[in-house]
């Protein structure tokens, strides 16, 4: 039987933060799945800061979402009709289904997301692009060694919460940076960081110097935010340190020039290395990353944390803005039709 689905489409390219005018909600009728295909009812949408970049028509690692196109998004869903034996009816799957209620898939880029002890939001968080970003960013790009000193910004966010916990597993000294006292308490008390600096209420430069002590420096700076905090971090590097350029959320809604690091010469002074990366670069090793992360989850060494918003595809924009307002602790997920 054909299935009606509501879909969120890009109506206008936003200047700065997206708003209700950025989107159209349309209704489509999906045909029954053809041979090799299956129909998915989307239950959870992954909300990611990178989605903001996909709305701009400028060169990036993926083509922008086109005007009139369905908004791209990672999601979890349930197979409700199937003509593909790898994904029978009832299977929980993870894939790039977009901001829709239902999607037809042929299985490309889709993985089975089932384990009795793992919640759907954790498949998008610790076991999804988020956790894999932390894992490959910290261990491969950051070349983390046991016992080093790690600084991570956005420490109470989706990627940051995993970075903190992974670095603690490796016996590192971990200093987080996050917005607000509540977040900082969470980063120290629940994630186990050694210190956390509230960049909204504290002098980051002075607090970082204090946390590092007289001869201390940062061996790995895991940068989720860019801008001013990156500039400050550059002044506190250890010799041969690594800066993992994961994201620059402080700049994503800039309508003018982005704030670049004025203190970049410290990379020379400290013989440091700054490297950008995309989690997709490690796609072939995702099974390795997922296995390791699942193992630590089951041992209780990583605690997953999600910021779940219940709603419909119409609530996408409000839920998405939580990322830029800093309203979330952990992974932002829009749960559809709960």
Ligand X SMILES: NC(=O)c1ccc[n+]([C@@H]2O[C@H](COP(=O)([O-])OP(=O)(O)OC[C@H]3O[C@@H](n4cnc5c(N)ncnc54)[C@H](OP(=O)(O)O)[C@@H]3O)[C@@H](O)[C@H]2O)c1
Contact 75, 97 (CB under 8 A): yes
- Tokens representing 8? 């969120």
Residues of span 119-138 touching ligand X by CB under 6 A? 129-130, 133
Spatial neighbors of 9 by CB under 8 A, at least 6 apart, are 23, 24, 25, 26, 68, 69, 70, 71
In the set 40, 43, 44, 48, which binds ligand X (CB under 6 A)? 48
> Is the CB of 17 or the CB of 111 nearer to ligand X?
17
- Closest CB 114 distance from ligand X, rounded Å: 23
Closest CA to 38 of 5, 2, 87, 74: 87
Contact 247, 130 (CB under 8 A): no
Q: What gap in Å lies between CA 160 and CA 295, rounded to an integer?
A: 19
In the set 14, 49, 261, 289, which binds ligand X (CB under 6 A)? 49
In the set 10, 40, 42, 50, which binds ligand X (CB under 6 A)? 50
| 179 lies in the binding site for ligand X (CB under 6 A) | yes
To which H or E segment does residue 239 belong?
strand 237-245
Q: What gap in Å lies between CA 93 and CA 306, rounded to an integer?
A: 19
Q: What gap in Å lies between CA 96 and CA 129, rounded to an integer?
A: 11
In the set 54, 139, 264, 324, which binds ligand X (CB under 6 A)? 324
> Is the CB of 80 or the CB of 278 nearer to ligand X?
278
For ligand X, how many residues bind (rule: CB under 6 A)? 30
Residues of span 143-172 touching ligand X by CB under 6 A? 154, 156-160
- Closest CB 319 distance from ligand X, rounded Å: 12
To which H or E segment does residue 289 belong?
helix 286-298
Contact 154, 184 (CB under 8 A): no
> Is the CB of 98 or the CB of 157 nearer to ligand X?
157
Q: How many CA atoms lie within 13 A of 333 on its CB side?
A: 29
- Tokens representing 53? 């970049």
- Closest CB 328 distance from ligand X, rounded Å: 5
- Closest CB 66 distance from ligand X, rounded Å: 21
Query: Interface with ligand X by CB under 6 A: which range of 2-10, 68-76, 112-120, 175-183?
Result: 175-183
Residues of span 69-108 touching ligand X by CB under 6 A? none
Total residue count of the chain as it appears in this document: 338
> Is the CB of 98 or the CB of 129 nearer to ligand X?
129
> Is the CB of 235 or the CB of 245 nearer to ligand X?
245
In the set 183, 242, 290, 335, which binds ligand X (CB under 6 A)? 183
Residues of span 188-227 touching ligand X by CB under 6 A? 224-225
Q: What is the distance, to the nearest Å, from the Cα of residue 53 to the centroid of all Cα atoms in its chain?
A: 13
Residue numbers at the binding site for ligand X (CB under 6 A): 48-50, 129-130, 133, 154, 156-160, 178-180, 183, 224-225, 246-250, 277-279, 323-324, 326, 328
């Amino acid at each position: 039987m054909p299935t009606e689905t509501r879909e969120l489409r890009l109506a206008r390219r936003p200047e700065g933060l997206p708003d209700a005018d950025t989107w159209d909600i349309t209704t489509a009728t999906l045909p029954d799945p053809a041979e090799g295909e299956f129909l998915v009812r989307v239950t959870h949408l992954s909300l990611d800061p990178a989605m903001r970049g996909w709305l701009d028509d400028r060169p990036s690692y993926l083509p922008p979402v086109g005007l009139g196109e369905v908004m791209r998004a990672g999601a979890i869903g349930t197979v409700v009709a199937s003509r593909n034996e790898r994904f029978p009816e009832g299977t929980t799957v993870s894939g790039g289904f977009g901001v829709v209620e239902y999607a037809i898939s042929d299985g490309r880029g889709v993985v089975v997301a089932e384990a009795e002890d793992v919640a759907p939001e954790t498949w998008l968080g610790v076991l999804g692009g988020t956790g894999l970003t932390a894992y490959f960013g910290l261990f491969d790009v950051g070349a983390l060694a046991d016992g080093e000193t790690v600084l991570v910004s956005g420490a109470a966010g989706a990627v940051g919460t995993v970075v903190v916990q992974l670095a603690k597993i490796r016996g590192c000294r971990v200093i987080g940076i996050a917005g607000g006292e509540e977040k900082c308490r969470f980063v120290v008390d629940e994630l186990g960081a050694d210190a956390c600096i509230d960049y909204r209420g504290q002098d980051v430069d002075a607090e970082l110097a204090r946390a590092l002590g007289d001869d201390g420096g940062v061996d790995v700076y895991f940068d989720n935010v860019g801008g001013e905090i990156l500039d400050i971090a550059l002044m506190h590097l250890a010799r041969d340190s690594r800066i993992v350029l994961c994201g620059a959320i402080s700049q994503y809604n800039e309508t003018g020039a982005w704030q670049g690091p004025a203190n970049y010469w410290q990379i020379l002074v400290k013989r440091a290395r700054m490297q950008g990366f995309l989690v997709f670069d490690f796609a072939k090793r995702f099974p390795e990353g997922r296995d390791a992360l699942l193992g630590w989850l089951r041992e209780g060494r990583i605690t997953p944390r999600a910021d779940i918003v219940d709603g419909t595809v119409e609530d996408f924009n409000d839920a998405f803005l939580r990322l830029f307002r800093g309203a979330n602790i952990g992974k932002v997920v829009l749960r559809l039709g709960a």
